[in-house]
Each structure stands twice: as C-alpha cells, then as structure tokens.
Amino acid sequence: MPRPDTSLKFRDVVTPAGESFVVPQGIQRIDTRSTHGWQVRYQGTKMFSDGEIGARKALLKATEDLAERIATMPAPVSLQRQPSANKTSDLPAGVSGPILRTRRSGNSRSASFSVLLPVYGKPSIIRSIYIGSESTYSERYQGALERAVELRADAEMAYALAATLARRKAARGLKAAVRRSNAA
C-alpha cells in the first residue's frame, strides 16, 4: 500500500520473509514461531493473521479495521487527569494556587488560581482566575475554584473533540488508500 496523503504516521516494515510494507500507526507486525500477522492497537486490539490470505491482504484488512475504529471511536487522549504525586495541594490536575500577588501601587494583596488549558495541536494556555483580595478571599475561594475546575474540564473536552476530529480526518485518507489498494 502506498503512503496515503494523511496526517497519520507511517513506517516501513519488513517481514522475516523479506516482504516490505508501509504500515500506519496503530498496526503492529507480529512474527513469532506460532503467529504471523498484523495486530490493530487502537482502543483495544485485534489480530489479522496472514493464514491463507497472505501478509498483504491481512494488512489491508487490518488497515480497514483501524480506519473503521478511528471513524467510530473517540481518539485516545493522554492528558493528565490526576494531580502529580508530588503536588502538595489537594487541587485537581491543571489547577494551581492560590497565588498571592502584591500590587505595585500599594500594600494590597490579591489571590488567584492558575489554570493550564490544553489546546490540541498548539501550546497550552495559562489562565488566571481571580479569587479576591485579603478581605474577600475566604468567601470567594470556593466559587473561584469551581470556575477554575470548570474551565479546565471544558478545555479537556474541547481537546478530546479536536483530537478525535483530526484523527477522523486522517482516517478518511486512510480509507481512500485502502479502497485504491483493494481495487488494484
């Protein structure tokens, strides 16, 4: 199969029998004493044995399965969902603080949370959520924390959606390449 014009990654694989293949990310070659075939690894695994159909047709079937999985399943997202083990506060992942700041113009201090917002395909954005001044801090803390957690959750959902859409766009190119290979 030729390399399709898609954002999916591909690599060259040579079997022990000397056959050369262009294989999309998400498919692994398995060659052991008792098993020869292609394994799809995307939201679970499935084996496509060379058996009677041969390595080339098994790879086409595995690629079709991979494209179908990408088209129907959400993309796996590797965002950190739990706080680091060495985090000293009980705040959720992506939320830090409270950060105390002293204004240049005087002695008044204010506090805020820092929220890391992941953006798919781009650097993350850091937003500051104002808690309050020394006199209003205690009554505004919980509301500011809820806003920070909600902002982070919204960013995570947007990230997962963007990752899934990008993966599905790439899978359409993969499906077209598989159709062309099957027609040949």
Long-range CB contact pairs, 79-85, < 8 A, 24+: 79/118, 79/156, 79/159, 79/160, 81/156
Rg over CA atoms, the chain = 24
Indicate the domain borders of the chain: 10-73, 95-163
Q: What is the pLDDT along the chain (184 residues), one digit of tens a residue?
A: 555 555 678 888 998 889 888 888 899 999 999 999 999 999 899 999 998 899 999 999 999 899 889 888 888 877 777 777 777 778 888 898 888 888 777 777 889 999 999 999 899 999 999 998 888 888 899 999 999 999 999 999 999 999 899 888 877 777 777 666 555 5
Residue 39's H or E segment, with its range, is strand 36-41
Report d(CA 108, CA 114) in Å as an integer. Answer: 20
Q: Enumerate the β-bridge partners of residue 116.
A: 126
